[in-house]
Chain A
Amino acid sequence: MKLKDNEDKIYHLDEKKVMAIAGDTCDRERFASFIQRNLDWYKYKNGYELDLDATAEFTRSELATAIRKGPYNVNLLIAGYDDKSEKARLYWLDYFGTLQEVKKGAHGYANYFTSSVLDNHYKADMTLEEGKEAIKAGVQVLQKRFMMSQPKFVMKIITKDGTQVEEI
């Protein structure tokens, strides 16, 4: 089965913040847009961007409020570079309003296939290149073992210099 291969599900929230979001298309687009616009509003109201952990918390809190009213059926990963503490961070969120800062993560079917691969590749103080290799190894496992044909993956790399887009 071959599906659309040029849909970019990694939305840019700010220059050094992205949100990878998976789930029902309508909820995905609506929720991502909602978060993007709220962050923009904050930036224009206050003259500075909302910082990375506050962004993760805000996103979580919207999901947590929505779950018992009209849930967004989406799971996400928020990634960014925090200028103040000079660290890159990754957050794992799900549609209940779970929030956890993590070193590596995945959602959906990818989680089943790549968890162990990422686990094997991960070590403390990895370099950027080692990180890219780990992701590529995960993608290769999916392309080999998963029933869906997914020849193209988009990869976004966030560092202190901003966000770069690559294709695997």
Chain B
Amino acid sequence: MARRYDSRTTIFSPEGRLYQVEYAMGAVGQAGSAVGILADEGVVLAAEKRITSKLLDIRKSAEKMYKVDDHLACAVAGITADANILINYARLEAARYTYAYDEPIPIEQLLRVVCDLKQGYTQFGGLRPFGVSFLYAGWDQHFGFQLYQSDPSGNYCGWKARAIGANSQAAQSILDSDYKVGKTTLQKAKLLAIKVLSKTMDTTAPSAEKLEVATVTKDEAGNVVYHVFTKAELEELLEEAKEMLAEVAEEGADA
């Protein structure tokens, strides 16, 4: 009976639901997970790559992480092609703001314009919504380091730690129990992100080829730096996390 109200995005069902938006969120739930954690000195973004092959030319394209402006980056969960359109729009809006005001766009303002676009596709035009959720990480002069999540409906929220994509509910409950407000250093955040991904990923052990990790921090000069981990850095991080991951595997075996 729900089927009758599926075909057009722009109508409600009798119970007041927008099925196309819900189905879009379902598409996101099928995608590789992404985790964002706000630390004292920056933000960590980590994601599971679904497309792994040694034939991939990784120098040229990223699957999950994108830079929007010098002070702002995002992680994607959902239909990559849809994500590309929105990221391009986000980059354009960030540049337009800097053109008008000669300063970097405050993070929430950028969120609002992207989310207003997403919302439009749920209300008019007769086109399907974007099947993407984002985790935006960045720094601005008003609120410092920030982490936001946006979903296909065009809603957004600021978070201290958030997971999207496959198994995001399980991931979110781990974050809930392990994240310590005001006491999470960047190092702790990185390890926590690895822990969460290792529990949500399909395979038993996370490896450098299957992960994308990035941080948004500030260097000594005070410039915001977006850094995507190289394969070597990922392997180093996994090495640091080995003990913790062994514990996690044990817990998993016991449970």
Contacts and interface: CB of A to CB of B under 8 A. Distances in A.
B6 to A, nearest CB: 35
A61 B108 CA distance: 23
A48 B142 contact: yes
A51 B103 contact: yes
B106 interface: yes
Contacts of A45: 109
A54 interface: yes
Contacts, number: 22
Contacts of A54: 101-103
A54 B108 CA distance: 17
Interface string A77-106: 000000010000000000000000000000
Chain B contact-residue range equals 10 to 19
Interface in B85-111: 99-103, 106, 108-109
A120 interface: no
A51 B102 CA distance: 11
A27 B6 CA distance: 54
B71 to A, nearest CB: 15
B108 A57 contact: no
Interface string A33-56: 000000000000110101101100
Contact of A46 (B99, B103, B109, B141): B109
B106 A46 contact: yes
Given A48-B142, A84-B141, A57 B100 contact: yes
A46 B101 contact: no
Contacts of A57: 100-103
Q: Which of B100, B106, B108, B109: most chain A Cβ within 10 A?
A: B100
Interface of B: 99-103, 106, 108-109, 141-142
Interface of A: 45-46, 48, 50-51, 53-54, 57-58, 61, 84
Given A46-B109, A57-B103, A84-B141, 19 more contacts: A45-B109, A46-B106, A46-B108, A48-B142, A50-B101, A51-B103, A51-B141, A53-B102, A53-B103, A54-B101, A54-B102, A54-B103, A57-B100, A57-B101, A57-B102, A58-B100, A58-B101, A61-B99, A61-B100
7 nearest A-B pairs in the assembled complex, by CB-CB distance? A57-B102, A54-B101, A54-B103, A58-B101, A61-B100, A57-B101, A58-B100
